[in-house]
Amino acid sequence: MPSCRICGGVVSELLDLGRQPSANRFLARADIAREFMFRLAIGMCHSCTMVQLIEDVPEEIRYHDGYRYRASGSATHRRHFARVARELLATELAGPNPFIVEIGCNDGVMLETIARAGVRHLGVDPAKEVTELARERGVNVLDAFFGDSVAEGIRAEHGSADVIFGANTVCHIAYQDSLLRGVDTLLGPDGVFVFEEPYLGTVISQMAFDQIYDEHVYYFTARSVQQMAQRYGFELVDVGRSPLHGGEIRYTLTRPGRRRPSPAVGELLADERHRGLADPVTFQRFADAVAKIRDDLLTLLRDLRDRGSTVVGYGAPGKTATVTNYCGIGPELVPFVVDSTPAKQGLLVPGSHLPVRPPQAFTTANPDYALLFAWNHADEIMAKEQAFSRRGKWIRYVPDVRVG
């Protein structure tokens, strides 16, 4: 039996998505033979309820030099993080000479606003190719994996932090122990640790099984985060909703007894109990629905191929690897996908090896159907692709397979 990375409790398996690659490790054809694969499965801890990967992928493989993820890849993300930064500037960073540290600053999409306001800040991120973009935006970056010793170095140089922030980062870090000890070292006595991450409640309600991939080691709930916070000497004092990736939760932790927890915490905990988010029956239903999505999607794509219809994939987010590898969708069913990220173009989707092309290829191919992998950006994409929508059809696969 695997044991919980947070509390050492017994983890029992909930869902197996088969052999999978590292989801953002887009590769050239020449590197196929050396591709890293692992068994992608999640389980839940019996004692702290943390849902987590059964096996994980070493960080050097996940965040290698050619790491392709760009946080500012959509207008929605850019607007959202500018708003988050402005909120922090107006609240937690409004005191004298404030200091904020972002764990996993990526291309600087959030810290850019902070830097422009002239506020002391530091982004910590090991993916050099991406942090180069942050530096170009005037953001200070330390190329490192955040942990206890890195936190000590930062404190020695800059003093303690008023805010430690993370977005789609904290759930990526397998060793929360070193992370939370680092936060403990660096955070000032009245500081806040704020992080927004994919939410298990959203994964379940939207059947977003493609949010499950190697980078997401944990699938948080208010309940599991609260237990984790307590374990490391923090208190969960607030939760809020964030619209990214289909609906995330932003958690605010402080040192114990510093702030009165907001009513939102109790409300979300009650909602999770009501929805059975720690209940094995909920996951059995989820697993059945996921298997049905796979069967329906494969049947549809094979049917379209047999009828001579053309299908192109739209967007190559990390999610694409999960859905294509789990379902067994290769270039014979979806000849290529288009994505606006230059660093992904010309490479192959990990595992399933669908070629990634620039967005113009979509217009040129003029397909009958578009399979929407970047479904969390549907509004932005629909607004951009009105010409296609008038003659072609979109295929969606969450929360179920739909053509329309």
* Residue 10 CB neighbours (<10 A): 13
Structure tokens at 166: 């993370």
Write the burial class of residue 258 (CB in 10 Å: 0-12 exposed, 13-18 middle, 19+ buried).
middle
Torsional sign, CA 356, 362, 366, 372: positive
384 binds, among Zn ion, ligand TYD, none (CB under 5 to 8 A by kind): ligand TYD
Chain positions contacting ligand TYD, by CB under 6 A:
69, 73-74, 245, 315-319, 339-341, 374, 376-377, 380-381, 384
CB of 48 to Zn ion, least distance (A): 3
340 binds, among ligand TYD, Zn ion, none (CB under 5 to 8 A by kind): ligand TYD
CB 52 within 8 A of CB 45: yes
110 binds, among ligand TYD, Zn ion, none (CB under 5 to 8 A by kind): none
CB 322 within 8 A of CB 23: yes
CB of 264 to ligand TYD, least distance (A): 25
How far is CA 157 from each of CA 160, 247, 313, rounded to the nearest angstrom? 9, 36, 47
CB of 136 to Zn ion, least distance (A): 41
d(CA 164, CA 325): 35
- For Zn ion, the closer of residues 52 and 324 by Cβ is 52
236 binds, among ligand TYD, Zn ion, none (CB under 5 to 8 A by kind): none
Phi-psi region of 154 (alpha: psi -120 to 50; beta: other; left: phi over 0): alpha
How far is CA 109 from each of CA 131, 137, 282, 349, rounded to the nearest angstrom? 10, 9, 36, 24
CB of 380 to ligand TYD, least distance (A): 4
198 binds, among ligand TYD, Zn ion, none (CB under 5 to 8 A by kind): none
Contacts of 355-358 with CB under 8 Å at 24 or more apart are: 355/331, 356/26, 356/316
45 binds, among Zn ion, ligand TYD, none (CB under 5 to 8 A by kind): Zn ion
- For ligand TYD, the closer of residues 52 and 106 by Cβ is 106
- For Zn ion, the closer of residues 50 and 323 by Cβ is 50
319 binds, among Zn ion, ligand TYD, none (CB under 5 to 8 A by kind): ligand TYD
CB of 215 to Zn ion, least distance (A): 20
- By beta-carbon distance, which residue lies closest to ligand TYD? 317
d(CA 260, CA 108): 32
SS (H, E, C) 315-357: CCCHHHHHHHHHHCCCCCCCCCEECCCHHHCCCECCCCCCEEE
- For ligand TYD, the closer of residues 238 and 339 by Cβ is 339
d(CA 113, CA 34): 40
CB of 186 to ligand TYD, least distance (A): 26
4 binds, among Zn ion, ligand TYD, none (CB under 5 to 8 A by kind): Zn ion
Radius of gyration of the chain (CA): 21
SS3 274: helix
- For ligand TYD, the closer of residues 140 and 340 by Cβ is 340
CB of 4 to Zn ion, least distance (A): 3
Chain positions contacting Zn ion, by CB under 5 A:
4, 6-7, 9, 45, 48, 50
- End-to-end CA gap in the chain: 44
CB of 201 to ligand TYD, least distance (A): 18
- For Zn ion, the closer of residues 9 and 331 by Cβ is 9
- For Zn ion, the closer of residues 48 and 194 by Cβ is 48
